[in-house]
Amino acid sequence: MAVKTILQPISQPSRLQKMWQSTSIIFESRVATVGMAMVLFWVILAFLSLFWTPYDPNASDFLQNQGPSVQNWLGTDHLGRDILSRLMQGTQVILLKTRLPGDGGISIPGGVAIWGVIGSLSLGAILGLNAGYRGGWWDQVIMQVLDALIAFPQIVLYLVVIAALGQGDLVVILAITITGAPGVARLARSLAMDIKTRDYIRAAETRGESVWYIMFWEILPNARGPLLVDGMLRVGYAIFAIGTLGFLGIGLPPPDPDWGNMVNEARRNIFSNQLAVIWPALAISTLVIGLNLFADGLREEMTRYQK
Amino acid sequence: MARFIIRSIISTIVTMFLVSAALFFLIEVGSGDITVKILGVFSTPEQRASYRAQLGLDASAWQRYVDWLFGNDWRAERKVGYPLVTAVNPQTGEADWWADVDGELTRWQLDEGILMTLIRHEDGSATSHLSSGAWKTNTAGSEYFWGVDTKNNAVMWVRGEGAEVWALTKAGLRKEGDGPKQYIPLRKGLLRGDPGISLQYGRPVAVTLIARIRNTLVLAGVAFAIIMPLALFVGILAGINEGKPLDRIISITSLGFTATPEFVTGIFLILIFGIWLKVLPAVAIFTSADAIFQDPKLLALPVLTLTAVELGYVARMTRASMVEVMDSAYIRTAIIKGMPKSRVVFRHAIRNALMAPITIIMLHVNWLIGGLVVVEVIFGYPGLGYYIYKSAIFGDFNAVEAAAMVTVAIAIITRLLGDLAYTLLNPRIRYS
Amino acid sequence: MKKPVITKYDMEKIHPAIPDAYQKFEEGRISRREFLRFSTLLGMSAAAAQFLAACSTPTEEAAPVEEAAPTGGIKRGGTWTSSMQLQLLDHPARLSWVEGANIVRQICEYLTQTGTDNITRPYLLEKWEASDDVKTWDLYLRQGIKFNNGDELSADDVLFTFGEWLNPDVGSSMLGLMSYLSGMQDVEKVDDYHVKLHLQFGDIAVPEHLFHYPAVVLHRDFEGDIIKQPVGTGAFTLEEYAEGERAVFKRREDYWQLGEDGDPLPYLDELIYVSTDKDAGVAALQSGQVDALYDPRPTDFQALQGVEGLRITPASTAQCLLGRMRVDLEPWDDVRVRNALKMCQDRAKILQLAYFGEGDLSLDAHVAPVHPEYCEKDIPAYDPEGAKALLEEYAAEKGIELPLKVTLATKNDQAEPEIAQALKELAAPAGFEIELDITEPAGYWDRWTEVDLGITSWTHRPLATMVLPLAYTKEAIGAWNETRWTDDEFEEILREAQGTLDVEARRALMCKIEDIMQERGPIFNSFWKSVWNVTNEKFQNIKAHPTAYDLLYDVWKDE
């Protein structure tokens, strides 16, 4: 029964149907649907902020530390800036754009959290697949290096990398990549060890395919489900980590607002304006919860299929 | 079993070594000119260069790594020609370096071109004599002398060529005339228990670090003792009632706590309990070194913050594990067989369900350390995490290295314990 | 009771210029504060000067007497706890941070003391006397003062201390400050309690210099580390000092100053400084874990305002966040552009936005109202139209299009980003397009003298004649002259002011100096910062000092 459901889509339906098949999985789980809605909320807000925010997020146009009003829905911060506009703009650096160093102010699409996770997925997959598929000395050496990286407390790694290389979007991406890679690699390794015993890998080996071909064209596509779910969770961790770094004052550099840093700045005025702390905190929490629920739901559904 | 332990230990040593090297070179590559941070932005390039030499930073990175790990007194001994030993300075309680010249502890000092010998007495004081005939002549014909100076460096003086050096004397720069040409800042190396001098505070790292580690262990220990039973209980409760309202409530609450950054929780706990209600100390003010023992209430809010964040995580792990176990064939069989559910749960399920979370927690000690750093920063708690944070921001590499090695050691050792525990609990993987 | 009288003759005996000053004071031409400063400067004891001032009927309302005696009920005992970062510390003469000085000043003391009213009085000195050309200074030491190791304070200790300051090997900032002393040959010991200074050139600021924060008097056997050898004449003794952790002091039994009750000061038993960052310090203060916080930032002031049980005392200062323009670079070499930007300041709005309105509005001259020689002038109004006219004239001449694009560099430190942000908005209607280049403090200090347009923080100095030579003279180019601005007329007047003891005469000179700076100077400044002393209201006699000095020897705690 289970075998049938897996095999069926491979042979017959169109690409569109295939896509629907894989997305419809989401709607079968209520948890995943709720999670996706929360994530989508922020993604839509992020895209919206590219074209429109209620006010200029960096302009001090209003009275300082005001509560919510018709004019400023979420109130204003300690410099008289509109919190809603800043919150919306804050999604960009996380999800939509990465600012390259230099004077040009050039950004590339894809936020810091996204690139960080793509980085750790790529690096982790390469290391994990090599370790898992090749085994032997490759496995020993790679696992030893990964053990060292895992033993490294993440926050210390962040602090050292940022203290060493300075603040910047790319540095944060690098830090997320390095701290995330070992986990991904472990997962990829165990998946590879499992998959390499399958018949179609034997077949490929008999055909005389190269090791890299087998790893990336035979094993990886069959391991992508769990890896993607893991990646989703990691986006959540990354947003959390960016928030923490921002709070410690060593996160994403200005001028773009950064949620963690918004908390840090608002903290000094918490006695007069608690909401200014709560909004960015809520933003971080809801986005992280959304990603968590989404990933949990997906995983549940996928394991259900496999049973 | 023995093989497993030996392999683990070897792997641990290799890991520590890798981490230390990675950390050293990472700081090396990036941290830029540490002397700017120490001497301030108004210092001149000459002052910085002079100070770099005194810190031994003009040596190659590789050389400094070896020095840092194994010490450099053995290297300096060959230059000086006498054994180098340490003796505790009774005034500061810190160890000073001396050369052992035929049983007399000796240092040297160049005062207006004249070389003076300082001989140490039993009580720690020293008398100074004119030092005669000590100069040696090198191939180029100039006279030089290798000795130990009063600042714990092995140094080379060249006669008549006193370099003008800028010495940092704790509160500012001073210009000194009779500067040595070359410095080896003496140290025993980490492996011999000497992590060096903190660049930020000018005291031995070890002195500060030990107190900090103690404070952190107390904080983490108390938090751990509260989190673990609570989280396991809540997680099991949710796991048994999978899908029921109780499970939903527990799951959503714990997810909410986990997803709330500790810095937000901490800030609000300070605001509510410390400032509005004034029932608990808002931050960790240590009016004496043993403040946490005299006033344990200082621990309340930091512990509460850690609990809020970590509790949800562990509870979720436990719940997942419990659900899996409850779903497994042998439990279902037991229930179908007609065993009372409570007995099944307590006799069989819990034992098996706990295995996974306990090992996962052991694996995640470094994750807990991350939470500690943030919590210690918010509460100004003088622990290891705050120390790492301050040192990393400053670029105080001796301090960061030592503190990070401690955290790595803690992470590795707990993981080793976790592995061992898991192996003992689960015979299936014992020989794999 | 016989009313004590100080006659003109008595005054003349102290210094011939005092009767003159007294007359001016009586006529209301100089303020009470100026008279006090002037007469104490010439060696009159503070008590006598205050007495004189109180006897007269000046037109100006008398300012409250500084360090007002508490109204009885003094209590002894208690611990005072403060939150302040503790860093490295060894030779006091080499101090480069006020936090360290606050530690040292509990153990050691100064020859003089500049009060919270910006008047300098003798302290370890009985009195001082200056010659008319202010080139010879006689310092008379109080007798019977004991160090905490039992030795008596004498001229030898003062000479030793001067030796440390003037020794280039020590590296004290006193050396540069006292450039009028060419070496120890200019410091003469007359007898055990009398030291004579022979200045190479006259300077009126000697008493102020003697209270510069590294200037504590050291014991003659001092070897270079105050933590290992905490010997001084101060009211407390050092029990523990751990960098980054805490400092603990205990009361000294045989301190030389007596309290109101006739027993030796201090009233407090113990002082504890805990090293925390400011955010933790604010929370600790609010929850009552500490009694004071070192140098609160404006946001801390906001947070602590209205908190029950705390007393906030503001102090006006000459600290500022100064906008400065490089006059050797385009477009700032043109005085019209400089003046246009100056006109773009809505000073009250900037003060409100950047400092919550806590400060004094300023002219575009580096002379503050707290400086005794300050010459009062109207605060310029916000005038974007006027600025626009100037800019259009400039643009037409140069053949360029408005808006004029400029980059404003500063550091993300105190309130600089807020000022920059506000200025950017305020200057837009005048035709400036300001781009902001805000870096971390270290990044700005790397280039503070080099940027075209920047905002630099300047600290408090008691006299305008102490600060102006640092940044607006030819000699200062290559050092602290960050704007490269020089002006012959300005320098001439400034030199005259430096040798003018008479406050009123000096003020007349300052009027010209302020005019020159406003008219063609290189700086703009919207406000002078206030600082706040925030202390638990249980503590009495707390002094809010403009440079955040903790003066605790006569503080007492009322439980």
Q: Give domain limits for chain A.
A: 112-306
| Pairing of the two strands C112-114 and C120-122 | antiparallel
Between chains, do C418 and A79 touch, taking CB under 8 Å as contact? yes
In this structure, the answer to whether residues B138 and B279 fall within a common structural domain is no
State the smallest CA–CA distance between residue C396 and chain B in angstroms: 41
Q: What pLDDT is attached to residue C15? A: 61
Q: Is the peptide bond before C264 cis (omega within 30 degrees of 0)?
A: no
The answer on pLDDT for C37 being more than 70 is no
Q: What are phi and psi of C421, to 5 degrees?
A: -60, -45
Tokens 């009195």 found at = C127
Whether B114 maps to a domain, the answer reads yes
Mean pLDDT in residue range C315-335:
91
Which residues in A lie closer than 8 A to residue C407 (C-beta atoms)? none
Residue A6 has what pLDDT? 45
Residue C189 reports pLDDT greater than 60: yes
Q: How confident is the model at residue B168, as a pLDDT?
A: 54
Which has the closest alpha carbon to B27: C554, C430, C457, A156?
A156
Q: How high is the mean pLDDT of chain C?
A: 84
Nearest Cα of chain A lies from the Cα of C303 at a distance, in angstroms, of 6
Q: Provide, rounded to the nearest whole percent, the portion of chain A with pLDDT above 90.
A: 12
Q: What is the pLDDT of residue C291?
A: 93
**Which helix (H) or strand (E) segment is B177 a member of?**
strand B173-179
Has residue B228 been placed in a domain? yes
Q: Does residue B35 lie within any of the structural domains?
A: no
Residue B376: per-residue pLDDT:
92
Does one domain contain both B249 and B362?
Answer: yes
Per-residue pLDDT, C391? 93
C211 by DSSP, 3-state: which? coil
Q: How far is CA A260 from CA A166, A169, A241, in A?
A: 18, 14, 9
- Is any Cβ of chain B less than 8 angstroms from the Cβ of C68? no
Residue B335 sits in a domain whose CATH number is 1.10.3720.10
Asked whether residue B179 falls in the same domain as residue B244, the answer is no
B167 pLDDT band (50/70/90 cuts)? low
Chain C residue closest in CA terms to A267: C279
Please give the sequence-ordered ranges of beta strands (E in DSSP) within A114-266, or none if there are none: none
* B174 chain-C contacts, CB cut-off 8 A: 91, 94, 169-171
The residue among B169 and B83 whose pLDDT is bigger is B83
The pLDDT, as a whole number, for residue C325 is 94
Chain A contact set for C425 (CB, 8 A): 59-60
Average the pLDDT over each of A238-252, C268-282, C313-327, C381-395 and give the range with the smallest value. Answer: A238-252
Which chain B positions have a beta carbon within 8 Å of A299's beta carbon? none
Are C339 and C517 contacting, i.e. CB atoms less than 8 angstroms apart? no
Indicate if the pLDDT at residue C210 is higher than 50. Answer: yes
Place of tokens 């305020």: C426
Q: Are A252 and A234 contacting, i.e. CB atoms less than 8 angstroms apart?
A: no
d(CA C558, CA C536): 10
Average pLDDT, chain B: 79
A125, with CB counted inside 10 A (0-12, 13-18, 19+), is buried
On whether both B139 and B220 belong to a single domain, the answer is no
B contacts of C96 (beta carbons < 8 Å): 40, 171-172
Q: Give pLDDT tens digits for A141-156.
A: 888 888 777 777 777 7
C-alpha C179/C-alpha B417 separation (Å) is: 67
- Containing structural domain, residue B114: 71-192
| Model confidence band, residue C12 (pLDDT cutoffs 50, 70, 90) | low
- Substitution target from B37, B39, B48, B174 for chain C, most C beta carbons within 10 A: B174
User: Are B290 and B162 contained in the same domain?
Assistant: no
Band (B333; pLDDT cuts 50, 70, 90): confident
Q: Cβ(B134)–Cβ(B143) under 8 Å?
A: no
Taking the C-alpha atoms of residue B186 and residue B85, their distance in angstroms, rounded to an integer, is: 10
Amino acid (1-letter code) at residue C45: S
Rg, chain B, Cα only: 29
Is the pLDDT at B166 greater than 60, yes or no? no
**Statement to judge: residues B227 and B371 lie in one domain:** yes
pTM: 0.81
* Contact indicator for B431, B228 with CB cutoff of 8 Å: no
Q: Is the pLDDT of residue C57 over 60?
A: no
**Residue A110: which of A97, A128, A124 has the closest Cα?**
A97
Count CB pairs under 8 A between chains B and C: 116
* Listed residues B143, B161, B192: the one ending a domain: B192
Lowest mean pLDDT among A92-106, A218-232, C393-407, C426-440: A92-106
Domain count, chain B: 2
Instruction: Check residue A228 and give its pLDDT.
Output: 86
**Residue B423 at interface with chain C, using a CB cutoff of 8 Å:** no
Look at the block and give the residue holding tokens 């039992």: C150
B260 shares a domain with B170? no
Find, in chain B, the residue whose alpha carbon is nearest to that of A242: B261
Output the pLDDT for position C523: 94
Residue A7 pLDDT exceeds 50: no
**A31 CB neighbour count, 10 Å cutoff:** 19
- Which residue among B192, B226, B258 closes a domain? B192
DSSP C384-438: HHHHHHHHHHHHHHHT-PSSEEEEEEEESSSSHHHHHHHHHHHHGGGTEEEEEEE
Residue of C286, C451, C482 to mutate, testing the B interface (most B Cβ within 10 Å of its Cβ)? C286
The whole-number average pLDDT for the span C136-157 is 92
Cβ separation B30–A164 shorter than 8 A? yes
Same domain flag for B169 and B113? yes
Tell me the range of A225-239, C124-138, C377-391, C401-415 where mean pLDDT is highest. C377-391
Q: Where are the beta strands (DSSP E) in B89-162?
A: 95-101, 104-111, 114-120, 126-130, 136-137, 143-148, 153-158
Complex-level ipTM beyond the 0.85 threshold: no
Interhelix angle A154-165/B384-394, nearest 10 degrees? 20
Smallest CA–CA separation between B418 and chain A, in Å? 13
Best CA proximity match to B378, nearest among C54, A247, C87, A203: A247
If asked whether residues B275 and B140 sit together in one domain, one would say no
Q: Residues C267-295: what's their mean pLDDT?
A: 90
Report the pLDDT value the prediction gives residue A3, as an integer from 0 to 100.
42
Q: Do B288 and C248 touch (CB under 8 A)?
A: yes
Q: List the beta strands (DSSP E) in C243-327.
A: 246-251, 270-274, 292-293, 310-325
The superfamily (CATH) of domain A112-306 is MetI-like (1.10.3720.10)
Residue for token digits 């909320």? Answer: A41
Is 50 exceeded by the pLDDT of residue A4?
A: no
Q: How far is C63 from chain A (nearest CA, A)?
A: 35
Q: Using CA coordinates, name the residue in chain A closest to C286.
A: A271
Same structural domain, B318 and B225: yes
Q: What is the mean pLDDT of residues C193-213?
A: 89
CB contact set of A167 (below 8 Å; sequence gap of 6+) = A250, A251, A252, A253
> For B110-119, what is each residue's pLDDT tens digit?
766 677 788 8
Residue A234 pLDDT exceeds 60:
yes
- Is the model's pLDDT at B360 over the cut of 70? no
Say yes or no: C480 contacts chain B, CB-CB below 8 A. no
Most confident of A167-171, C79-83, C180-184: C79-83
Position C4 scores a pLDDT of 45
Same domain (yes/no): B166, B242: no
Lowest mean pLDDT of A160-169, A202-211, B228-237, B263-272, name the range: A160-169
Residue B91: per-residue pLDDT: 66
Considering only residues A43 and A59, tell me which one the structure prediction assigns the higher pLDDT.
A43
Q: Give me the residue from A147, A156, A244 closest to B11, CB to CB.
A: A147
C318: helix, strand or coil:
strand
Q: How confident is the model at residue C147 (pLDDT cuts 50, 70, 90)?
A: very high
Does B390 reside within a domain?
yes
C266 with C251: CB under 8 angstroms? Answer: yes
Q: Which of B379, B418, B390, B351 is nearest to B223 (CA)?
A: B379
Residue A60 is nearest to which of C297, C422, C438, comparing CB atoms? C422
Which of C299, C412, C425 is the closest to A269 by Cβ? Answer: C299
Residue B372 located in a structural domain: yes
Do B260 and B324 fall into the same domain? yes
Query: What is the pLDDT at residue C216?
Result: 93
pLDDT at C348: 92
C346 shares contact with chain A (CB less than 8 Å): no
Domain termination residue (choose one: B192, B217, B243): B192
**pLDDT(C62) > 50:** no
